[in-house]
A and B are shown apart, each in its own frame.
Chain A
Amino acid sequence: MQTFERIHPVEFQRRFLAQETRHDGRAFSQFRPTHIVKGTISTAQGSATVRIGNTTVVCGIKAEVCEPDVKTPDEGYLVTNVELSPMCSARFRAGAPSEEAQVASEHIHRLFTKHVVNLSSLCIESGRAAWVLAADIVCLKYDGNILDAAVVALLAALDDLRLPAAEFDSASGAVSADKTKASGLALRRRLFPATFSLVDDAYLVADADDAEEQMVSASVLVILDDNGSVANIWKRGAGAMSRQTIESCVERAGKRKEVLARLLQ
């Protein structure tokens, strides 16, 4: 069986998909078991570890202070980066971030800075000092669906974040912070992701793992917010997906949202 999987991975997967099941025994619309643990890294101000099946992702948020941008004197910064290294899978190379990592970083950055974190809440002193949140999402083990895991990890880490009470001293220009008086960040809204992929141009599966991702022609990431409204739909790949398919994905994302909302409690 293992030899067959190595020599003909595509045929191996097809044998399962033709029987309306997947190689790990899941149904097409079934997501892998998800675990979220907050506060795992003590050197970071906010952190979370998320496991979706075998995909394990750690998000750590470190807070520093800086001068805000001249154009936005009342806003701080949120800097998000996704790291995919050879440590998590043989598919990635050492060195500069791959295209996949860059694309993931950019997408998550745009989602979270505009719609989740209120950058004005990071201001310490208008025009003089503001917080910079450096959120790094490091993949520890890669088994497909990095985007879902990264979004959930960042959300959980932001929930876990405790910013020390900061005071700006205009005489010295320094910021002092008291860790004993730390408070959380009020988020604008929370985002709940769900990824659906078109495997082998024929089967629509939820939460494709690494083996299935090798045969994916198109995938759609649906992100809902707390009210169940669509915050983001991102369809990738050149494979064709009908409108009904995408609508059914949005509907199924609603069910996934309930599961994630409960886990993030």
Chain B
Amino acid sequence: MSANIIDRRRINGPQRSVEPLYTAEAPEPFANGRVDSRALDQVRPIFIKTGSLATQTSAAASPSGSAYYEQGKIRISCAIYGPRQGRKSNTRMGVFDCDFKYAPFSCSWKKTHIKSPDEKEIALILEQAVAPAIRLEAYPKASIDAFVTVIESDGKAATISAAVNCISAALVDAGIELYDSVAACSMALNGSQWVSDCTQIEEDAASCSLLVARMPSADEVTYVLQHGKTAPEQTDQGIQTCINSCTRVYAVICRYLQASME
């Protein structure tokens, strides 16, 4: 299961192992090209539970805030620790640190235990997408740490946007001062059509993927990431459609957060 490296702190399997060649038939796509019965601009159903990691028994060992997020088959859990003492003691602004990892069984591709560059990159993406929303000047010398674990993933760009939404919900649960919640949504280009919130199968067949993270109340975009080749007008159109989807996702997140306060 490891690629030529022996991880001394874990049980190791054989040095080399591969997936067998699956002979399964691809599922029949729907009329609009999707693999499930959604419209092209429809996001998968979202479920959020905040305070999922707060245990009544041991308050000292619980994180400050936590959230469990589901979007279709994507399942993500996030724990927020902080504000707690930062590594540098003389910073004027607080530091937001994110640690992201896929559980080994969560991906449809091969995943080892050791952190891949992919995960490190996504951790940076999450930091950059969420940090603008936090009032870091209210937490000098402190650090706010987010630990995100993907339990099941379904579409790389969709999983990253789901992680952004999950962190947003967890930050609210932790009582961290925010300018706004960050809502993110992803799209993929299938032919010349932008399709919202693609599953892994749809994303594999697409030529380009786009991810937008936005603070709707402040009307500010915090992060845009595009993979693949498109014409500038197509990218513009994609970003605009994605921004509209973000607003809808934001409304869902707010509804769950309100329900959790009651």
Give Cα distance in the complex from A81 to B103, angstroms: 11
Give the distance in Å from the alpha carbon of A190 to the alpha carbon of B59 in the complex. Answer: 35
With both chains docked as a complex, state the minimum distance between the C-beta of B156 and any C-beta of chain A, in angstroms. 13
| B17 contact from A2, A54, A132, A180, Cβ within 8 A | A132
Check B149 for interface membership: any CB of A closer than 8 A. yes
- Known contacts A77-B13, A87-B53, A134-B13: does B105 contact A61 (CB below 8 Å)? yes
> Any chain B CB within 8 A of the CB of A42?
yes
Contact A90 B17 (CB under 8 A): no
Neighbouring B residues of A6 by C-beta, 8 Å: 59-60
Asked if B14 is at the interface (CB within 8 A of a chain A CB), the reply is yes
Q: Judge whether B79 is part of the interface by a CB distance below 8 angstroms.
A: yes
The B-contacting residues of A in range 42-75, CB under 8 angstroms, are 42-44, 47, 54, 58, 60-62, 64-67, 69
Q: Distance (Å) between the CB of A127 and the closest chain B CB?
A: 14
Chain A interface mostly: mixed
User: With an 8 A cutoff between CB atoms, is A80 at the interface?
Assistant: yes
Q: Is B55 an interface residue (CB 8 A)?
A: yes
Name A177's contact: one of B22, B148, B153 (CB within 8 Å).
B22
CA distance A41 to B105 in the complex (A): 8
Which residue of the partner chain A has the closest CB to B106?
A43
Assess whether B5 is interfacial by the CB under 8 Å rule.
no
Return chain B residues, CB-CB under 8 Å to A87: 53, 63, 77-79, 147-149
Complex CA gap A24/B105 in Å reads 34
CB atoms of B60 and A24 under 8 A apart? no
Residue in chain A with minimal CB distance to B200: A43
Which one of B107-115, B184-192, B203-211 is at the A interface? B107-115
Q: List CB contacts (< 8 Å) of A145-194 with chain B.
A: 164, 166, 174-180
- Closest A residue to B113 by beta carbon equals A81
Assess whether A116 is interfacial by the CB under 8 Å rule: no
Q: Which residues of B contact A94 (CB under 8 A)?
A: 99, 147
Chain A residues closer than 8 Å to B59, beta-carbon distance: 2, 5-6
Contacts of B108 in A (CB 8 A): 43
- Given the complex of chains A and B, what is the CA–CA distance between A41 and B151 in angstroms? 8
Is A200 in contact with chain B by the CB < 8 A criterion? Answer: no
Q: B52 interface residue, CB < 8 Å from A?
A: yes
Are B9 and A134 interface neighbours, CB within 8 A? no
The answer for the CA separation of A142 and B66 in the assembled complex, in Å, is 13
In the assembled complex, the Cα of A42 lies from the Cα of B200 at a distance in Å of 12
- Asked if B105 and A44 make an inter-chain contact with CB atoms under 8 angstroms apart, the answer reads yes
Q: Verify if A91 is at the interface (C-beta below 8 Å from B).
A: yes
Q: A54-B55, A177-B22 are in contact. Are A42 and B73 (CB under 8 A)?
A: yes
Q: Are A89 and B61 within 8 A (Cβ)?
A: yes
Contacts of B105 in A (CB 8 A): 41, 43-44, 47, 60-62, 134, 136
Q: Of A2, A54, A69, A138, which contacts B14 at CB under 8 A?
A: A69
Interface residues of A in 176-226 (CB under 8 A from B): 176-180, 209-211
Known A140-B77, A143-B57: A64·B19 in contact at CB below 8 Å: yes
Task: Collect the chain B residues with CB atoms within 8 Å of residue A138's CB.
Answer: 103, 149, 151
Contact partner, A64, options B9, B110, B151, Cβ 8 Å: B110
Chain A residues with Cβ below 8 Å from B17 are: 64-66, 132
Q: Name B114's closest neighbour in chain A (CB-CB).
A: A96
The answer to whether A239 has its CB under 8 Å from any CB of chain B is: no
Chain B contacts of A109 at CB under 8 A? Answer: 11
Known A-B contacts A9-B60, A64-B18, A132-B13; the reply to A85 vs B52 at CB < 8 A is: no
Smallest CB separation, A116 vs chain B (Å): 15
Q: Is B223 an interface residue (CB 8 A)?
A: no
CA distance A164 to B21 in the complex (A): 11
A166 to chain B, nearest CB (A): 6
Contact present for B113 and A211 (CB under 8 Å): no
**Is there a chain B Cβ closer than 8 Å to A114's Cβ?**
no
Nearest B-chain residue to A68, judged by Cβ: B14
CB interface residues, A 86-145, toward B, < 8 Å: 86-91, 94, 96-97, 102, 105-106, 109, 132, 134, 136, 138, 140-144
Find chain B residues with CB under 8 A from A9 CB. 60
A interface residues with partner B (beta carbon < 8 Å): 2, 5-6, 9, 23-24, 41-44, 47, 54, 58, 60-62, 64-67, 69, 77, 79-81, 83, 85-91, 94, 96-97, 102, 105-106, 109, 132, 134, 136, 138, 140-144, 164, 166, 174-180, 209-211
Besides the contacts A86-B145, A91-B61, A175-B20, what 7 more A-B pairs have beta carbons closer than 8 Å? A9-B60, A64-B19, A65-B17, A69-B14, A94-B99, A102-B10, A180-B24
